[in-house]
């Protein structure tokens, strides 16, 4: 088998190696021509780390220096262009120290080093004066050395190219430290103001980064940088389209499929279509205009290098905003919020006021799904782009909140926990399911004090059930348990085809008035608080059996009933009650962060009087559940879904209470 691993240089950022045939290259030169040949900029482009920004700048540099031989056979070679030579200043902020005490000297040193490569000595002692000196000297030198080219230049006196990579790295490295950020911001403000003063000499300026910071001079003033991050014309300038992959990687398909069949990544009868389909699910989905989609280039390169699917981009650390590990600062639960969006323009940050949604989008965890509204008032709706990000976010969350501290292999622990869920829920073992849910919720540890609401607990359970899940859990969180009135927290179909509807209720405290109104002294499934407590010893959290505070018991019992009543009243099980299909209701009550009560009941429907109700499914003393019926009257139901006039004539299978088993719902 041909060894082709060296053809996939995922970390390579020098265009000349690709041009010399040392690695697979996806041709973006027609987009570079559109930018460079027709405008001087300045331009700004935001993309996540390891998405090809540095390679893009290197390719622009080769075009600007007039190295046409490197572009033989590429798209730009067939386009009209004069191939004049321009001096190029290239500054990479990614390698600079973002400690405020060192930053100024490092930036000055970076400018001086660029001058050395261009054979210009820089004598200025501040970054702002140094960049001005370098641009001016290069302009005069080029004008003197290439008078004919200077005369042919259609951009007049503009003859110096400035390329700045990862301009925002020093600021991102100080997220949350307003003092450091302000010091660096002042230095950068002076630097970019100086760059603007040299605009009459700048033939082309291109700046990349992850986000936009206000108050830097770069995005304000008469000569501000044009942001092409959300431009449809350049939406695919970084990343691969499927057409580009088919063109550039086609000759490697056979080798990849064979290897993946051997290691069980693909089935023995897998085709090219199967490989491409799986590739799209894992790495596609990134969009910056809501229409064009691109595939993560770093992960694709590694996919064909290793012939295996994995979280290559995420595991490389590219999702981190800075060189420091700031992952704990990100609220990964926001990834699963179906209503994330931003308005009008690309998110812009104040250096001391970081928008979390912006972090998630610009770091590569979220992408634009759709765009709505008129051009002057657009709303950009966001979503998780692909399986790689979904898997990574799940692992981050579960590792943070469920995996015990000090666990050597969080992934192994999570997989083992999932297998326990599979065994308990797959064939629905009520006792095992109750014990497992109780142990999970009562042992959750929190790295941060936030997130102790129902959304938090629902999210953790949904994520845990969703990893590698052969159980039927809707892929789109917006479809989970939807009914005509509302939706349940989570609905899971067992391997036997039955359904479990889970509803979570959480309280930090419940007022005495609320308890009296909703609970009225009745215990759910028991005649005494003591028997309730002993019946859920495994779920008692920090309290031992029989020792729970009355307030805690009142809250748990109240919320168990509230959860059951909500499942019944809002008809969550209606679309699952087909023929002989069994539907179970799971009520989960949580008080504080460690007191948990879990109860299960069978959900049924009485077609004679149009009510939904719960029945017992176990014989334990603490499972004596009072009948919970829907408070709706027949007129409240949809006649198309509940035909008849209450005579009980529909259906023929006797329900446990003597009523009729539900018919399939259209």
Which is higher by pLDDT, 546 or 576? Answer: 576
Out of 129-133, 309-313, 350-354, least confident range: 350-354
The CA distances from residue 226 to 49, 222, 493, in Å, are: 21, 11, 51
Which is higher by pLDDT, 266 or 448? Answer: 266
The pLDDT assigned to 663 comes to 31
For residues 208 and 226, is the Cβ–Cβ distance under 8 A?
no
Q: Which residues of 182-203 are buried (b: 16+ CB within 10 A; e: fewer)?
A: ebbbebbebbbebbbebbebbb
- Tell whether the model's pLDDT for residue 621 goes beyond 50: no
The pLDDT assigned to 471 comes to 53
Q: Percent of the chain scored above 70 by pLDDT?
A: 71
Place of tokens 């996540």: 48
The Cα–Cα gap between 369 and 560 comes to: 37
Residue-wise pLDDT for 161-200, tens only, equals: 999 999 988 888 777 677 788 888 889 889 999 999 999 9
CA proximity to 286, closest of 392, 383, 372: 383
- Tell whether the model's pLDDT for residue 666 goes beyond 60: no
The Cα–Cα gap between 567 and 589 comes to: 14
Residue-wise pLDDT for 481-498, tens only, equals: 334 445 677 888 888 888
The Cα–Cα gap between 231 and 265 comes to: 36
Q: Give the pLDDT mean for 625-648.
A: 37
Out of 46-50, 521-525, 653-657, least confident range: 653-657
Q: What angle do CA 430, 433, 437 make, to 5 degrees?
A: 140
- Cite the DSSP H helix spans in 427-528: 430-442, 454-466, 512-518
The Cα–Cα gap between 97 and 105 comes to: 9
Q: What angle do CA 649, 653, 655 make, to 5 degrees?
A: 95
- Tell whether the model's pLDDT for residue 51 goes beyond 80: yes
Strand ranges of the sheet holding 499-507, from the earlier edge strand across to the other edge: 490-493, 499-507, 583-591, 595-606, 611-615
pTM (predicted TM-score): 0.75
**Strands (DSSP E) found in 359-428:** 367-372, 379-383
- Tell whether the model's pLDDT for residue 612 goes beyond 70: no
- Tell whether the model's pLDDT for residue 477 goes beyond 50: no
- Tell whether the model's pLDDT for residue 524 goes beyond 70: no
SS3 category, 618: coil
Mean pLDDT (the chain, rounded): 76
Residue 215 pLDDT class (50, 70, 90 cuts): low
Residue 378 pLDDT class (50, 70, 90 cuts): confident
For residues 594 and 541, is the Cβ–Cβ distance under 8 A?
yes
The pLDDT assigned to 309 comes to 94
- Tell whether the model's pLDDT for residue 85 goes beyond 60: yes
Spatial CB neighbours of 481, under 8 Å, sequence gap ≥ 6: 487, 488, 489, 490, 491, 501, 572
The pLDDT assigned to 321 comes to 52
């Amino acid at each position: 088998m041909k060894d082709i691993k060296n053809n996939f240089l995922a970390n390579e950022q020098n265009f000349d190696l690709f041009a010399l045939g040392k690695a697979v290259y996806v041709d973006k030169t027609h987009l570079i021509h559109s930018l460079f040949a027709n405008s001087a900029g300045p331009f700004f482009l935001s993309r996540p780390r390891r998405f090809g920004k540095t390679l893009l700048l290197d390719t622009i540099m080769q075009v600007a220096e007039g190295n046409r031989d490197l572009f033989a056979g590429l798209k730009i070679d067939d386009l009209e262009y004069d191939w004049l030579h321009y001096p190029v200043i290239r500054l990479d902020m990614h390698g600079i120290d973002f400690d405020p005490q060192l930053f100024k000297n490092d930036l000055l040193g970076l400018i001086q080093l660029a001058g050395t490569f261009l054979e210009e000595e820089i004598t200025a002692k501040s970054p702002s004066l140094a960049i001005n000196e370098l641009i001016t000297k290069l302009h005069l030198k080029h004008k003197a050395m290439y008078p004919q080219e200077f005369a042919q230049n259609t951009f007049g006196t503009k003859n110096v190219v400035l390329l700045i990579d990862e301009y925002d790295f020093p600021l991102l490295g100080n997220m949350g430290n307003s003092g450091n950020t302000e010091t660096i911001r002042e230095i950068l403000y002076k630097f970019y103001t100086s760059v603007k003063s040299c605009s009459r000499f700048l033939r082309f300026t291109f700046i990349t980064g992850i986000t936009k910071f206000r108050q830097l001079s770069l995005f304000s003033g008469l000569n501000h940088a044009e942001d092409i991050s959300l431009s449809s014309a350049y939406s695919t300038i970084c990343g691969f389209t499927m057409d580009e992959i088919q063109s550039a990687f086609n000759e490697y398909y056979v080798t990849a499929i064979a290897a993946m069949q051997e290691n069980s990544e693909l089935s023995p009868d897998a085709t090219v279509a199967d490989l491409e389909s799986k590739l799209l699910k894992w790495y596609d989905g990134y969009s910056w205009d809501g229409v064009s989609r691109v595939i993560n280039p770093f992960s694709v390169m590694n996919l064909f290098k290793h012939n295996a699917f994995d979280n290559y981009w995420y595991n490389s650390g590219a999702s981190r905003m800075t060189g420091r590990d700031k992952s704990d600062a990100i609220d990964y639960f926001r990834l699963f919020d179906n209503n994330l969006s931003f308005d009008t323009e690309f998110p812009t940050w104040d250096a001391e006021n970081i928008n979390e949604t912006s972090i998630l989008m610009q770091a590569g965890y979220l992408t634009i799904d759709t765009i709505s509204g008129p051009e002057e008032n657009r709303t950009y709706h966001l979503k998780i782009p692909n399986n790689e990000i979904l898997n990574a976010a799940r692992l981050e969350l579960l590792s943070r909140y469920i995996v015990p501290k000090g666990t050597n292999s969080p992934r192994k622990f999570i997989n083992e926990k999932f297998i326990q869920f599979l065994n308990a829920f797959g064939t629905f073992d009520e006792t095992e399911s109750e014990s497992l849910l109780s142990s999970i919720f009562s042992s959750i540890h929190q790295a941060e004090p936030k997130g102790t609401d129902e959304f938090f607990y629902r999210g953790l359970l949904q994520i845990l059930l969703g990893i590698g899940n052969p159980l039927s859990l809707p892929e789109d969180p917006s479809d989970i348990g939807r009914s005509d009135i509302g939706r349940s927290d989570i609905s899971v179909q067992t391997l036997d085809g039955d359904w479990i509807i889970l509803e979570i209720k959480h309280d930090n405290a419940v007022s005495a008035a609320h308890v009296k109104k909703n609970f009225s002294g009745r215990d759910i499934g028991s005649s005494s608080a003591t028997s309730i407590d002993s019946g859920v010893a495994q779920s008692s959290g920090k309290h031992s059996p029989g020792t729970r505070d009355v307030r805690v018991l009142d809250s748990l019992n109240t919320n168990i009933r509230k959860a059951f009543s909500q499942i019944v009243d809002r008809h969550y099980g209606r679309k699952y009650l087909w023929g002989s299909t069994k539907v179970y209701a799971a009520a989960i009550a949580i008080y504080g962060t460690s007191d948990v009560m879990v109860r299960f009941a069978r959900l049924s429907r009485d077609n004679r009087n149009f009510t939904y109700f719960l029945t017992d499914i176990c014989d334990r003393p603490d499972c004596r559940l009072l009948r919970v019926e829907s408070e709706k009257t027949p007129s409240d139901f949809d006649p198309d879904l509940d035909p008849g006039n209450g005579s009980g004539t529909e259906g023929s299978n006797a329900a446990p209470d003597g009523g009729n088993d539900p018919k399939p719902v259209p």
